[in-house]
Structure 1
C-alpha cells in the first residue's frame, strides 16, 4: 500500500511538471510590441528550445495569427467560437509552418465582447477552455488586446504570469499605472495570484536620449522585474510579418533576433523557477 502511494505521488508530480506554463503578454497601451513579442517568443521557444507552444490570440485584430502566416479572414474556427461554446479549444487550434499551434482571432471576436460581458463566470471562460490542452503543451502564450476589457481579463485569469512590453516613450511610461491597477484587480478582486514574468523595454533606440531615460525610469520603478535585454527599434521586426515569418526566420542574425533569443532564455528560467515554487 505504501509502495502504491509512493508511485501515485511520483506519477502526480510528473503530471504536474507536464502542465503548460501559461503567460499573458499584456499592456493597456497599443503599439508597444505585444503581438510582436507574442509570436516571436512562441516561434523561438519551438525552434530554439524544442518546446511545444500554443499561442492564443485574444486581440480581435488577429495580428499574432496573421504574422505566422494564417489567413485570418478565411479561418473556419477561431477563439470567438470557443467563447460562444460552439466548439472546444481543440477544434480551434491551427498549426503553422513555424511549428507554433495557434488559436486565431479576427474582428468577429470584438462582436462578442458585449454578449460575453453579461455571462456568469465571464472572467474564467478561457481558463476553463484551456484546461483540456494544458498537458499537451510546454507553454501557452496569450496575446492580449490593448485594454482591460473582458478578453484581457480572461487572458490574465488563465495565466500563471504576465510579460509586460513597454515602449520607450513618454506615453509608454504613463501606461504603467494602468497596468498596475489592472493587475491589482486580478489579484485582489478576482483573487488570482498572477506573477510578473518581466517588464520588457521595446522599441529602444540607442541614438535617442528619451529611450535611455525611459529605460532608467522603468528600472527605478520595477527593479529586478525589468528585463535587462531591450528590444531595439528595427525595421526588420516590422517587415517579418509580411512574409508570415518570425524574426528568427526572417533575419536570424539581426539585432531583433539576438535580443529575442536572450528573452527566450529569461522566459525559460522563469518557467523553471515557477515550477520549483509550485512543487
Structure 2
C-alpha cells in the first residue's frame, strides 16, 4: 500500500511548521511503529538539523533530486529517531531558479517520491514559509496538507492566502489536495489575542481544526539545539503531550 503523503504548509514563517513536521514524524514512528520519511524542501534545512543531520556535509540533497542529478534513495539519511530524512540546505535556494525552468516543474517531487512511495507508511514534507515552486512541489506531491497557524493577528490574516493557494492547486493544477487539519500553535493562554485567534479558527474551520493545541513553550523551541524531538528532549512536558495528542488525531484522520 502506498504511503500517505502529507505536506506541512503555511506561507507565513514562525508558525511552528518545522517543529510540527519533525515532531509529528517522530511521533508516528515511535507511537505507531510506522515507516516515516521526512522530506525537507525548506532551504533552511532545519527539519534535518533537528533530527541530527549534518546539513553542511551532505553527500546528496533534495535540490539534486529535483534536478534529477541524484535519486531520492541515494539522498535518504537514516536518523537515530527512527525517521528517514531527505535533507536540504541553502544550496536548495540557489537551485530554485533553475528548478523553476524545468519541464514539469510542479511535479518534480511527486515523480521523485514515486520510487519510494511503497517503502513507507507516511511521507511528510516540510515546506518553506513562502509561496514558490518548492511549496508547489510539496503540495502537488501530497494527498493532504496540515496547516499550522500561530496565535497572532498576522497568523489569522494569512488564512485567506493559504486558502487561495490551495484553491489554485486544486483548480489550476487540477490536483485534489485536501486539508488534513489546521493546527493552532504557539498558544499562550495568558494572552487575549491567542484566545481570540483560536476562537476565530474554530468558527472558520469547524471540525477541520485539530482539537490539539500546541503551547508556546521553551522546551519546544530549544529541542532542535539538542538535535532531538520533544519526546526525547522533554518527554514529560506540555509540548510532548500536545504533540503526542496530535499524532493520535492525525492517525484517526488518515485511516
Query: What is residue 159 of structure 1 aligned with on the other side?
Result: 142
Alignment partner, residue 185 of structure 2: 202
Q: Which residue pairs with 1:24 in the alignment?
A: 7
Aligned to 2:36: 53
Map 1:49-198; keep pairs closer than 5 Å.
49-198=32-181
Q: Would you tell me which structure has more helix in proportion to its own residues?
A: 1
Number of aligned pairs?
Answer: 255
Root-mean-square deviation (CA, aligned residues, Å) is 0.6
Cα distance in 2, alignment partners of residues 49 and 252 from structure 1: 17
Distance 1:122 1:131 in 2: 15
Larger Rg: 1
Q: Displacement of 1:269 after TM fit?
A: 0.9
Residue 147 of structure 1: how far off its partner (Å): 1.0
Q: Partners in 2 of 1:48 and 1:248 — Cα distance?
A: 11
**TM-score relative to the length of structure 2:** 0.99
SS at match of 1:132: coil
Structure 1 gaps, min length 5 = 1-17, 273-279
TM-score (norm. length: structure 1): 0.91
Where does residue 241 of structure 1 map in the other structure?
224
- C-alpha distance in structure 2 between counterparts of 1:146 and 1:81, whole Å: 21
Q: 4+ residue stretches of structure 1 with deviation over 2 A?
A: none
Secondary structure (helix, strand or coil) at the match of 2:114 reads: helix
CA distance in 1, matches of 2:3, 2:252: 14
Cα deviation for residue 94 of structure 1 reads 0.3
CA deviations 1:77-104 (Å, max 9, x no partner) are: 1101101211110000000010000000
1:246-261 alignment, distance < 5 Å:
246-261=229-244
